[in-house]
Amino acid sequence: MCGIVGYLGHREAYSVIIKGLQRLEYRGYDSAGVALLNGGLNVYKKKGKVADLHDFVKGKDVSSNIGIGHTRWATHGEPNDKNAHPHVSNSGKLAMIHNGIIENYSSLKTDLIKKGFDFKSDTDSEVFINFIEDIYLNSGVSLAEAVRLALNKVVGAYAIAIISLEDPNLLIAARKGSPLVVGLGKGEFFLASDATPIIEYTNEVVYLEDQEIAIIKDGHLTIKSVSDVEMTPYVQTIDIQLEAIEKGGYDHFMLKEIFEQPKSIGDCLRGRLQAKEGKLVLGGIFDYVTKMVNAERILIIACGTSWHAGLVAEYIFEEFCRIPVEVEYASEFRYRNPIVNEKDVVIAISQSGETADTLAAIELAKSKGATIIGVCNVVGSSIARATHAGSYTHAGPEIGVASTKAFTAQISVLTMMALMIAEKKGSLSESKYRALLFELESVPDKVAKALLLNDQLEEIAKVFKDARNFLYLGRGFNFPVALEGALKLKEISYIHAEGYPAAEMKHGPIALIDEEMPVVVIATKDSSYEKIVSNVQEVKARKGKVIAVVSEGDTEIPKMADYVIEVPHISDALMPLIAVIPLQLLSYHIAVMRGCNVDQPRNLAKSVTVE
């Protein structure tokens, strides 16, 4: 959730921080604030977007070379000015920003109130900074040591940054369960929830590990564990281009990211897929292929759109590898005492690599002896470090909260994994294996062709922008695509939408169909085509409005459907990569026409790092 930015160096801190918050706003946009040291501690915060904060600060003194900033996704306390970060301690000398949840805040707050502390907000974060101050004032230790002692007492998740009026050359940060990266410049240091605010200034970073504290003082970085062991910083070079996190002429990041998919899928396949040679090379899982080939079961754990990618993978792995697959919501898996053993392989999927529920599910599965394979987009992320092995999707930064290119990149990686395992296992004929490699190689071009439907989808959106409900239907490999299409629509347009297996329509949802119900049917030519034709007829018999996604050249369904969207033909297993494109475009255009904030839909944040 929330986005954190910090700076200490020779630049104007405010300009670095405000620009960084704008780049992190996809992580939360209920309120925003900054704290700056300039002889005094100046704190400015405001409900609303980062732009509201920037307007509020105009004309105020923001001259400073050290500061911290925050953009919030509310957990404790409603979105308003008083609950916005940074929070200041009772003495007025410490300021802190916090991403996460402190579970034992209530008992801490009770003790602090007894000691005379008073609170101006409803947040657990204000309790946190006052708890640190209480230790600092009463234990005779340095502020960094007070932070360390406090971290040993709090229960929950956090990424924090703290500045002190008493020491304008000190910046302290720490993390547990929420991401935090330190950027290393020439005589300057940066803090951020991810690398996007940093890359304009430096490509050298240190990713803090769980329960590590970064102490930046007098031009030097020290990293300690909460158990007071000094750690050697592991400096990494990040490979993100600045233009990748700009809109590049598009009206919204989401539209840009939809149209980036030929490239993002191509980047995912590049260097791994060698169709002419009949080779697939996923170096990240090379040492674990035998383990995956011999797995008795594959468990896929994920949340949201990544869970839908996992459902597609279930069909693919079972079809090609003949290994039983179960797909679990990470948030449920971790709480139901699941049966997992050392013969299981768990594939964890996350765009950000920081999803709290997925991380907790990984640790649970690891404790039971399972082998954990990660599929994520962000290099150096927590999931990438927590898993035994894995593959990056190489989709590039995804800023729009509603995931698009990450979904197709995840399916691309998972398809390559399945084909690699199937080839090693011998569960797929050589001819079929090679044919699928060539088809997979053709996906970027076919996605580019599907994107040419944009104008047609915009016209369809005009017809249905005021609909109150949508139904999405699909069969087989396309059932998860129906779920994903429905999720995209409700995420960004706030229209209620549900995805169903097409045959399940008559087990309940058919009762909803009337002349005002748009029904999106993914009806591409596959092994269940005749069945989906029957489903379309059932909808039309009840006067539903059918929007059909069909294979090019289809002559049967166009006779029945009200609106027909033709996509390039490809094998059943790869069709989700193509069929999802028009559904993404439809949801985008409907949301724009309804005046919704496409990139920052209400109540949502990009990376769910709290439970």
Active site residues: 2, 606
Other Cβ atoms less than 10 A from the Cβ of 518: the count is 24
- Collapsing DSSP to helix, strand or coil, 417 comes out as helix
Whether 157 and 180 have beta carbons less than 8 Å apart is answered as no
Contacts of 259 (CB under 8 A, 6+ apart): 250, 451
Residue with tokens 């239907």: 473
| Cα→Cα distances 600→22, 32, 44, 79, 137, Å | 12, 14, 23, 15, 41
Pairing verdict, β 189-192 and 181-184: antiparallel
Residue with tokens 């629509």: 489
| Cα→Cα distances 336→328, 329, 361, 366, 440, Å | 11, 11, 11, 16, 37
Whether 395 and 349 have beta carbons less than 8 Å apart is answered as no
- List, in sequence order, every residue forming a beta bridge with 300; answer none if it has no partner: 327, 347
Report the alpha-carbon distance of residue 168 to residue 217 in Å, rounded: 9
Contacts of 247 (CB under 8 A, 6+ apart): 253, 256
Burial class (CB in 10 A: 0-12, 13-18, 19+), 542: middle
Q: What is the DSSP letter of 178?
A: S
Report the alpha-carbon distance of residue 79 to residue 121 in Å, rounded: 11
HSE, CB side, 13 Å, CA atoms: give it for residue 65.
12
Short-list 312, 324, 315, 320, CA closest to 349:
312
DSSP string spanning 76-112? SS-SSTTTSSPEE-TTS-EEEEEEEEETTHHHHHHHH
| Cα→Cα distances 47→83, 375, 423, Å | 9, 36, 55
Burial class (CB in 10 A: 0-12, 13-18, 19+), 611: middle
Report the alpha-carbon distance of residue 341 to residue 344 in Å, rounded: 6
CA 310, chain centre distance (Å): 15
HSE, CB side, 13 Å, CA atoms: give it for residue 605.
24
Positions of E strands within 27-79? 31-37, 41-47, 66-72
Whether 401 and 606 have beta carbons less than 8 Å apart is answered as yes
User: Can you list the pairs that 331-339 forms with residues at least 24 positions away whose Cβ atoms lie under 8 Å?
Assistant: 331/303, 331/357, 331/611, 333/299, 333/301, 333/361, 333/364, 334/360, 334/361, 334/364, 338/299, 338/364, 338/365
Positions of E strands within 199-340? 204-207, 212-217, 220-225, 230-231, 235-237, 273-274, 279-280, 297-302, 325-329
